[in-house]
Each structure stands twice: as C-alpha cells, then as structure tokens.
Amino acid sequence: MAGSFNPLAGFGPAEKAKFLVLGSSRTGSSALTSRLSSLKNLEHVSPTRLKGLGISRCPVSTEADEASKLALMRRWFFARKPDAGFILTDFPATLLQARVFDEWLECRSEGLTAVFAFEPIVGPVVDHYRMLGLLCSADTDAPA
C-alpha cells in the first residue's frame, strides 16, 4: 500500500515553519497547494492580502510601488512573533526584495524552512534561493 504524497514531509514542526511560495499556486502542484492550505496553524500572508486591509493608493512609478511593497511587508514581518511560522506568497517578487527579506530574517536570527517555486517560474529570485539551497520543486519535497 503506497503512502500519500506529502510535499512538506521532513521540514520539522509545522507550527514554526517558514515557507515562501514563488509563482502562482493556481498553475502549480495540486498536492502542494492543498497541503499548504491545510496548514491552518501557519499565518498565510501575501502583499496583496495585506494591501487590501488598508487604504491603497496607486503609485506613480515602479520605484514607488517597490518601496510601498517593502514598507508594507516590513511592517508585517517585524510585527509578528519571531518564532511564528508563515506561508508567504507573492513576495519577494524581485531580487532586491529577496535580499531585503534575507536581511530581515538575519536581523531576527531566523531562517526560511523552504522555498517552493511553481513552474514555469525562472529568474533571479529563483536563482537566488537555489544558490542558498532553499529552493524545492513544488512537485516533490527534494531540493530543485
């Protein structure tokens, strides 16, 4: 009898896990998507969801949008308990955001549990997490 596929197996205590999900889960692995959504003890966060909670103004430039998103995510990150787990989607979207997020984690002596990328996502953010050894395929629980 074959066991059920668990893409999050082997990552330690789920309540303290810190996952990033790069790309759209709508086009990704249904096993990972359903497993992530079943983790009710983790905070599910995205800049879009956080922005919807406040007043949003249209930024006048790409730089203003980047600064606005970083400020929004910084407020969330430093307001949470350091040992609380989360599933973060749609952030970081740029290499600058990834590097700033890494600095925030380092500042609080925290680290990511894993980063999942839904195919076909490529680019500097994926390469950054692959170089750090955190990138896992969304279809398996092995590093990509």
Rounded-to-integer distance, Cα 26 and Cα 83, Å: 29
pLDDT at site 2: 43
Domains and CATH numbers, the chain: 14-137 (3.40.50.300)
pLDDT value, residue 45: 87
pTM across the whole model: 0.76
**Per-residue confidence (pLDDT) for residue 142, from 0 to 100:** 44
By the 8 A CB rule, do 28 and 140 touch? Answer: no
CA distance 87 to 43: 6
The reported pLDDT for the residue numbered 29 is 55
**Residue 15: CA atoms inside 13 Å, Cβ hemisphere, count?**
2
Q: Which residues of the chain have pLDDT under 70?
A: 1-15, 24-31, 33, 51-60, 119-121, 137-144
pLDDT of residue 25: 57
Give the per-residue pLDDT at 55.
53
pLDDT attached to residue 129? 94
Contacts of range 68-77, beta carbons closer than 8 Å, 24 or more positions apart: 69/93, 69/97, 70/97, 70/100, 72/47, 73/47, 73/97, 73/101, 74/104, 76/45, 76/50, 77/101, 77/104
